[in-house]
A and B are shown apart, each in its own frame.
Chain A
Amino acid sequence: MTLLQVNHLVVEFPSRHGTLRALDDISFDIEPGEILGVVGESGAGKSLTGAAIVGLLDPPGRIVGGQIVLEGQRIDTLPHEQMRHLRGRKIGAIFQDPLTSLNPLYTVGRQLIETIQMHLPVSDREARARAIALLQDTGISAAEQRLDNYPHQFSGGMRQRVVIALALAAEPKLIVADEPTTALDVSIQAQIIMLLKTICKERGAAVMLITHDMGVIAETCDRVAVMYAGRMVEMGPVHEVIHHPAHPYTAGLMAAIPDMTADHEHLHQIDGAMPRLNAIPAGCAFNPRCPRALARCTSDRPDLMSAGVTRAACWLHESVATVA
């Protein structure tokens, strides 16, 4: 059974100058144990999608359409209190900055034990043993002593390990990881990615990995979703999306990444910038920057359609879709 289904999700922010549509008709699903990457540039709506799923949309942002279904249960309409119990128990969250996601005033152990006891009916002693095991599993040596340390006594990479331990504390089925390695150095980043990958595989937890780094996606994910201006533009198996991108935006994005193996005098650039939410062009949101825009791209909005192995929201693939 599909673990998470997001159907036609729409998130809006009412403002003085009119309502801003930050997520526009986002649909995807995650299978149990799968790692789904969500990639896009700043402001594309990646983090917002994650926040909507864990029920942590900042007001005045609100879900105005669509639904989020976790294991057959609709969770976007749950009352606050019920959602609080579900978060942690069924969905774990890892955020970018490990220092702000830990409480600086409590020891790491207290935060872990609190989380464990909040969700699982275990005694203090069992909870402590569990906390130690969690820290060990995330690669923290001398876990028993480290349990009584405060977050500031850990380095950045170690803190992110603690945050992963916290997210896994109640053995959730889904982890939403929002830029978990962006604040870390490359050598540490590699360690954390490996950890996230192995530990989730061992426990059978699915991961929604939100990042702007295509390299991280390439190494970690099974499938990837590419977002642009609050919409999903392409989705498919990682290898296909990276090597044979079907959407012109994905193709441009891939070409803009400096290559470690080839030399170019010039990098491919996508001219212009992503539109602001209050000025999203009609039709396909990418049409003003698209080198292959057709006449209808400025008027009709494409939905995700089959483009060979992947699915892309682009009219270029319409003929292929109808033939197939």
Chain B
Amino acid sequence: MKALVQALDLAMTFDVSPPWLNRVVEGKPRQLLHAVDGVSFEIEKGKTLGLVGESGCGKSTVARLLVGLYEPTRGSLMFDNQDAHAVYKGPESARLRRRIQMIFQDPYASLNPRWRVEDVVGEPLKEHGLISDPLQMKERVDDLLQSVGLSPLDGAKYPHQFSGGQRQRISIARALATDPEFLVCDEPTSALDVSVQAQVLNIMKDLQRTLGLTYLFISHNLAVVRHMSDQVGVMYLGCLVELADKQTLFANPRHPYTRMLLDAIPKLHDTGRARTPVQGEVPNPLNPPSGCTFNPRCSLANDRCRSERPILLDVGGNRVACHAVQEGRA
């Protein structure tokens, strides 16, 4: 079966140069930030791809590229066998946008505080001209609210009357309004407490099953990604460094960065265990190290790692971008 979503060498570069006058007067060069630098993946219909990585690795930029908030500087996105960014610019744009929706991280910032919940949830329906009859609209909004475990009576309330978890459910109801096939979820539970996070994750899984949704699920929390995903991609400084089935990745992580991340999460089961965390921090993306961007923190780095950038290759079931793993040194 052909994948529903295919990203081919997606890249996004931001121009963060100083203003023209400063460049001329102070002789400063143009400065480019490669937020996402050649990312390729596929997501099959009804499946979930999880993306993990630390802040600044480009996870959210990937999300924004997929929903068309950014236009990629290189590469393309195929959605259901059509070039999504070409369609976004054409007359069919609204039709495509209806099929791809997004859930944001902060349910406090993503809902208009002055709108009633029924207006928030109903807006996409109005915007896309799907329903004009007020009675039908009311029915549809009530259904949507019920599908995420809220009461139809909640429609008349304002967002501030809800807790964080309930607000995130409202965001989900709104994203589902246009019957999308693909949902891009950018850290949907990061602002929530664990017990509430469990409620929201359960709803998202149930909806995926009943509606056949496809998810891109972004989180910095590996346990959450593991719970939600079929496939997992690990990002570091704008690149995918490892991509594999969930089971394979967590049972047998290959890339040194993936191993470091897995080792770094505090575990519930070995209380009081001493360990030696990997030293160093994510380098400045404005001035990334040459070769493999992970080389300054990697214990396996050699000259080749410092000069030549590794590409994502199949190594025993995982796709890994690492010279050491590909050469069999690790």
Beyond A212-B193, A216-B266, whether A273 also contacts B271 by CB under 8 A is no
Q: Distance (Å) between the CB of A242 and the closest chain B CB? A: 6
For the complex, what is the distance from the CA of A7 to the CA of B222, rounded to whole Å?
39
- Interface flags for B216-235 (1: CB within 8 Å of A; 0: not) read 00001111101100000000
Q: Do residues A242 and B227 form an inter-chain contact, with CB atoms below 8 A?
A: no
Residues on B with beta carbons closer than 8 Å to the beta carbon of A157 = 281
The one of B220, B267, B273 in contact with A260, judged by C-beta atoms closer than 8 angstroms, is: B267
Beyond A191-B277, A253-B195, A260-B223, whether A219 also contacts B267 by CB under 8 A is yes
Q: How large is the interface on B (under 10, 10 to 19, 20 to 34, 35 or more residues)?
A: 35 or more
Q: Distance (Å) between the CB of B161 and the closest chain A CB? A: 11
The one of A214, A256, A269 in contact with B268, judged by C-beta atoms closer than 8 angstroms, is: A214
Asked if A213 is at the interface of the complex by the 8 Å CB criterion, the answer is yes
For the complex, what is the distance from the CA of A260 to the CA of B269, rounded to whole Å?
10
Asked if A238 is at the interface of the complex by the 8 Å CB criterion, the answer is yes
Residues on B with beta carbons closer than 8 Å to the beta carbon of A42 = 164, 193
Q: Do residues A257 and B202 form an inter-chain contact, with CB atoms below 8 A?
A: no
Q: Distance (Å) between the CB of B284 and the closest chain A CB? A: 9
Asked if B205 is at the interface of the complex by the 8 Å CB criterion, the answer is yes
Asked if A79 is at the interface of the complex by the 8 Å CB criterion, the answer is no
- Interface flags for B42-62 (1: CB within 8 Å of A; 0: not) read 000000000000110000000
Asked if A202 is at the interface of the complex by the 8 Å CB criterion, the answer is no
Residues on B with beta carbons closer than 8 Å to the beta carbon of A264 = 227
For the complex, what is the distance from the CA of A158 to the CA of B280, rounded to whole Å?
10
Asked if A63 is at the interface of the complex by the 8 Å CB criterion, the answer is no
Asked if A290 is at the interface of the complex by the 8 Å CB criterion, the answer is no
Q: Do residues B194 and A212 form an inter-chain contact, with CB atoms below 8 A?
A: yes
Q: Do residues A242 and B268 form an inter-chain contact, with CB atoms below 8 A?
A: yes
Q: Do residues B195 and A252 form an inter-chain contact, with CB atoms below 8 A?
A: yes
Residues on B with beta carbons closer than 8 Å to the beta carbon of A214 = 194, 268
Binds B, one of A100-108, A123-131, A180-188, A304-312: A180-188
Asked if A189 is at the interface of the complex by the 8 Å CB criterion, the answer is yes
Q: Do residues A256 and B220 form an inter-chain contact, with CB atoms below 8 A?
A: no
Residues on B with beta carbons closer than 8 Å to the beta carbon of A193 = 266
Q: Do residues A215 and B55 form an inter-chain contact, with CB atoms below 8 A?
A: no
Asked if A196 is at the interface of the complex by the 8 Å CB criterion, the answer is no
Residues on B with beta carbons closer than 8 Å to the beta carbon of A273 = 163, 165-166, 196
For the complex, what is the distance from the CA of A157 to the CA of B280, rounded to whole Å?
9
For the complex, what is the distance from the CA of A256 to the CA of B189, rounded to whole Å?
13
Q: Distance (Å) between the CB of B320 and the closest chain A CB? A: 19
Beyond A186-B220, A190-B275, A258-B226, whether A41 also contacts B264 by CB under 8 A is no
- Interface flags for B250-267 (1: CB within 8 Å of A; 0: not) read 100000000011011111
For the complex, what is the distance from the CA of A257 to the CA of B268, rounded to whole Å?
10
Beyond A187-B54, A266-B202, whether A194 also contacts B275 by CB under 8 A is yes
Residues on A with beta carbons closer than 8 Å to the beta carbon of B223 = 257-260
Asked if B40 is at the interface of the complex by the 8 Å CB criterion, the answer is no
By beta carbon, the residue of chain A nearest B227 is A258
By beta carbon, the residue of chain B nearest A289 is B195
Residues on B with beta carbons closer than 8 Å to the beta carbon of A242 = 268, 271
Asked if B201 is at the interface of the complex by the 8 Å CB criterion, the answer is yes
The 4 lowest CB-CB distance pairs between A and B, nearest first, are A215-B266, A190-B277, A185-B54, A41-B193
Q: B residues within 8 Å of A by Cβ?
A: 54-55, 163-166, 193-199, 201-202, 205, 220-224, 226-227, 250, 260-261, 263-279, 281-282
Question: Given A189-B266, A256-B195, A269-B199, 14 other A-B contacts at CB below 8 A?
Answer: A155-B281, A187-B277, A190-B263, A212-B193, A214-B194, A215-B267, A219-B272, A220-B266, A256-B197, A256-B198, A257-B268, A266-B205, A267-B227, A273-B163
Enumerate 10 A-B pairs (CB-CB under 8 Å) in ascending A order: A42-B164, A185-B282, A187-B261, A189-B266, A191-B279, A214-B268, A256-B197, A257-B194, A261-B269, A264-B227
